[in-house]
């Protein structure tokens, strides 16, 4: 005969609570070790962020041209024309214990002559979680070559045990081959940081191409420098259905995953969604939101009141002579050919081609400041040409 159910109180209740908590931790650890093929303990930085990159199957190393570059390839930050703030939320495989949140901000820092970014990523619950704080710097080496570096503080918390901490370094490179093709490379964990265990380096190289006016395609290959690791191929594409709506699709070879997604924007708000399948567990859904500000810089250097403009030569042995600048007809950025645009002082042949390509992809410019969205046309070039062109 079954004995009656009795209530648990006092020391027994405390022990029962501890047992339940311990079981929760064990379940959490099992999820990380057994369920996620590419995510073991203290290797959480390999869990990708950003709905746009994941909608393209993770093929983003060469394409990285928005705030997602903070995680995918820091060198890509040099393509940003605006200050961007992005965030993402997901529940991996529909599992409550695998919640992930991400926030990043990035923009140009003129006093440093480059771009900087800050990011926060957390995965897990109070019982077990992994958190990364990152500081990013990127700079153009030449007109077509850029590099970027991440400095990461990684923290692992397991129930009531002491935290495990480590510092990691990522390095990214990006090169513009021509107006239609980019190549990129990324090395994660360059210093083999230790967070409870040593993290292996992860290499990624990729190529991205503007296949047509509305279609971009990308291919990446990734390899973790550890025993029994596989080459992982990532292929993806995105296509503009309208000026404000994009669809995406992609594939990952290891582990095998299908990806899909879409994105749309309203003014400076950009919202992206990505789907990732799993053969056994639930599918993963990612949602990202990004806000782009008109100012392209986090900090802007302003000359002191006592500082003379750089164009003036100071000294009593010199005299400035006024010169008359002849008036010229303004060039229309909505109708001019690349050859005509290249005649404008400050616009190179590459920039003129990018202006025309941007016009074909997105339609006529509505505002002059939309020129800042054109690749390779930064604030300095814009300030130089804004009085020489018109809509």
10-residue block means of pLDDT along the chain (391 residues)? 39 45 47 42 62 98 97 96 94 85 95 95 88 97 95 90 90 95 97 91 96 94 90 97 95 95 94 94 94 69 43 38 53 88 87 86 81 87 88 81
Retrieve residue 277's tokens.
Answer: 């399948």
Distance CA 89, CA 284 (A): 11
60 near 49, Cβ under 8 Å? Answer: no
| pLDDT given at position 228 | 81
Q: Please, which residues have CB within 8 angstroms of residue 201's CB and are 6 or more apart in sequence? A: 187, 188, 189, 190, 192, 224, 225
| pLDDT given at position 259 | 98
For residues 181-211, one letter each, b for 16 or more C-beta atoms within 10 angstroms of the residue's C-beta and e for the rest, the string is: ebbbbbbbbeeebebbeebbebebbbbbbbe
> Could you tell me how many residues make up the chain?
391
Distance CA 73, CA 76 (A): 6
Residue with tokens 């057994």: 34
Retrieve residue 310's tokens.
Answer: 């750089």
Beta strands in the chain, from DSSP E residues, in sequence order: 83-91, 99-109, 114-124, 128-140, 145-158, 164-176, 181-188, 194-195, 197-198, 202-210, 215-224, 231-242, 245-252, 257-266, 269-276, 284-293, 297-299, 331-332, 389-390
Give the DSSP H or E segment for 341. helix 338-341
First to last CA, the chain: 89
In DSSP terms, which residues pair with 90 in a beta bridge?
100, 286
| pLDDT given at position 95 | 85
Q: Is the dihedral of CA 76, 77, 83, 87 positive or negative?
A: positive
Distance CA 220, CA 40 (A): 22
Distance CA 127, CA 26 (A): 10
Task: Using only the alpha carbons of the chain, give its radius of gyration.
Answer: 25
| pLDDT given at position 98 | 86
Q: Please, which residues have CB within 8 angstroms of residue 178's CB and are 6 or more apart in sequence? A: none
| pLDDT given at position 362 | 80
Domains along the chain with CATH numbers: 44-299 (2.40.160.60), 331-390 (1.10.150.310)
Distance CA 158, CA 126 (A): 8
């Amino acid at each position: 005969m079954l004995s009656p159910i009795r209530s648990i109180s006092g020391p027994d209740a405390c022990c029962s609570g501890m047992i339940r908590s311990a079981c929760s931790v064990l379940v959490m650890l099992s999820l990380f070790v057994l369920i996620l093929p590419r995510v073991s303990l203290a290797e959480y930085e390999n869990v990708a962020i950003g709905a746009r990159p994941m909608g393209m199957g993770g093929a983003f190393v060469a394409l990285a041209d928005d705030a997602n570059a903070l995680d995918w390839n820091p060198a890509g930050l040099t393509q940003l024309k605006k200050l961007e703030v992005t965030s993402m939320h997901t529940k991996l495989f529909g599992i409550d214990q695998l919640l992930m949140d991400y926030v990043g901000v990035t923009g140009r820092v003129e006093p440093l002559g480059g771009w900087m970014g800050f990011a926060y990523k957390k995965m897990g619950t109070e019982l077990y979680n992994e958190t990364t704080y990152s500081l990013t710097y990127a700079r153009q080496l030449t007109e077509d070559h850029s590099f970027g570096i991440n400095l990461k503080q990684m923290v692992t918390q397991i129930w009531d045990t002491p935290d495990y901490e480590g510092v990691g370094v990522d390095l990214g490179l990006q090169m513009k081959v021509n107006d239609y093709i980019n190549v990129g490379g990324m090395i994660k964990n360059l210093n083999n940081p230790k967070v409870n265990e040593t993290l292996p380096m992860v290499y990624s190289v990729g190529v991205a191409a503007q296949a047509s006016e509305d279609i971009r395609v990308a291919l990446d290959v990734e390899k973790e420098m550890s025993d029994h690791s596989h080459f992982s191929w990532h292929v993806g594409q995105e296509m503009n259905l309208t000026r404000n709506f994009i669809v995406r699709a992609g594939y990952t070879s290891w582990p095998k995953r299908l990806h899909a997604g879409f994105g749309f924007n309203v003014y400076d708000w950009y919202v992206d969604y990505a789907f990732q399948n799993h053969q056994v567990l639930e599918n993963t859904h990612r949602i990202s939101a990004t806000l782009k500000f008109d100012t392209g810089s986090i900090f802007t250097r302003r000359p002191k009141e006592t500082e003379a403009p750089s164009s003036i030569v100071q000294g009593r042995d010199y005299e400035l002579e006024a010169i008359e600048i002849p008036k010229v007809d303004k060039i229309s950025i909505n109708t001019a050919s690349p050859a005509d645009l290249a005649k404008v002082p400050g616009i190179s042949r590459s920039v003129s081609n990018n202006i025309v390509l941007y016009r074909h992809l997105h339609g006529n410019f509505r505002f002059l400041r939309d020129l800042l969205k054109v690749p390779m046309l930064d604030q300095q070039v814009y300030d130089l040409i804004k009085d020489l062109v018109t809509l």
